[in-house]
Amino acid sequence: MTTQISAPLNGTNIPDGETSGDAGVRIPLLGLGTWPMTGDECTEAVSSALEAGYRHLDTAENYGNEDAVGRAVVGSGLARDEVFVTSKFNRRWHGPVDSVRAGLEAALERAGLDYFDLYLVHWPNPDQGSYVQACESLVELTGTGLIRSWGVSNYKPAHLQQVLEAGLVPAVNQIHCQPLFAQPHVQEANAAAGVLTAAYTPIGRGSELLQQPAITRIASRLGRTPAQVVLRWHVQQGRIALPKSADPQRQRENLDVFSFELTAEDLATVDALDSATPSDSFMDADEFGH
């Protein structure tokens, strides 16, 4: 089985800087993305990933697959504390703690789980004006036993700044991050605040990114696949990466990135593929959200 590497989480931060009693939470750097799988296809894919050694799963209310992911976790025979489960909630729950708690309890019920290891605000939805309050509610819920840590997703530096000014530090900001759209300004804002960056769409949906000569050249030299080179680029720089695959062989390939290293020159070569600017956006979190 591939050796997994994990990072410590600060997700139990509460406003006065103390931790709420669960400071030892660690997050495996490589997790399985589960969108857009649902139903039996999703349960089968997650089951094969757990068999292959994955110990981190990324689901969300919006994917409609918390039930399918939960079934695979429960059916795996693994102890619950051996698997790190992240979920995310939609805009309708943003608000005071009772509201976020209602969304969380419904999600846990769907998943058939007693708790999530990490629970994220999926999009800030600034038009609603409650993305800071949603974080305050998550802080209150951390330590109830229903979530072990909390974080955000798709928060731009300006959104994160509002959260920090309220005295709150998310454990994770999950963002679109891949070599052609790396968002270094968001990564830097996260790092400066002590927030771990988690990369979604980490291999660019397996499309033209994996045919870039800069990547295929490194892959041939190392006897690795292009996807492995890109995933290694993420984890070697301390990012969580959440590649989705329904295919057992690609799942194993994507997980097997802890037994080789990229050189500093390789890292710089992959870094150089990013030609996006801070104003470029696939889905602008000031406009889009759910």
Which range, of 31-39, 97-105, 165-173, 265-273, touches ligand NAP by CB under 6 A?
31-39
Minimum CB separation from ligand NAP for residue 113, in Å? Answer: 17
Minimum CB separation from ligand NAP for residue 50, in Å? Answer: 15
DSSP label of 44: H
Which range, of 4-12, 46-54, 238-246, 273-281, touches ligand NAP by CB under 6 A?
238-246
Task: For ligand NAP, give the closer residue by CB, 137 or 225.
Answer: 225
Task: For ligand NAP, give the closer residue by CB, 142 or 155.
Answer: 155
Burial of residue 20 (CB within 10 Å: 0-12, 13-18, 19+) is: middle
Q: Return the beta strands (E) in the chain as ranges.
A: 6-8, 26-28, 32-33, 56-58, 84-89, 118-121, 150-153, 172-176, 196-200, 240-241
Contact string (CB under 6 A) for ligand NAP, positions 66-85, x = contact: --------------------
Residue closest to ligand NAP, measured at CB:
33
Cβ count near 133 (within 10 Å): 17
Which range, of 6-14, 19-27, 130-138, 197-205, touches ligand NAP by CB under 6 A?
197-205
Give the torsion sign (CA, 59, 62, 66, 72): negative
Task: For ligand NAP, give the closer residue by CB, 106 or 246.
Answer: 246
Minimum CB separation from ligand NAP for residue 284, in Å? Answer: 12
Task: Establish if 243 lies at the interface with ligand NAP (CB under 6 A).
Answer: yes
Q: Among this protein's residues, is 54 annotated catalytic?
A: no
- Of 187, 241, 173, 260, nearest to 6 by C-alpha is 241
Coil/strand/helix, residue 96? coil
Count of positions on this chain that bind ligand NAP (CB under 6 A): 27
Of residues 11, 33, 170, 179, which one binds ligand NAP by CB under 6 A? 33
Task: For ligand NAP, give the closer residue by CB, 16 or 156.
Answer: 156
Q: Which residues contact 245 (CB under 8 A, 6 or more apart)?
A: 32, 45, 49, 251, 254
Contact string (CB under 6 A) for ligand NAP, positions 217-236, x = contact: --------x-x---------
Contact string (CB under 6 A) for ligand NAP, positions 162-191, x = contact: ------------x-----------------
Distance CA 22, CA 15 (A): 15
Task: For ligand NAP, give the closer residue by CB, 15 or 221.
Answer: 221
Listed as own residue / partner, the contacts of 3-8 with beta carbons closer than 8 Å and 24 or more positions apart are: 3/258, 3/259, 4/28, 4/29, 4/30, 4/53, 4/55, 4/255, 4/258, 5/29, 5/30, 5/235, 5/258, 7/196, 7/238, 7/240
Contact status, residue 30 vs residue 231, Cβ threshold 8 Å: yes
**Site residues for ligand NAP per CB under 6 A:** 33-35, 58, 122, 153-154, 174, 200-206, 210, 225, 227, 242-247, 250, 253-254
Active site residues: 63
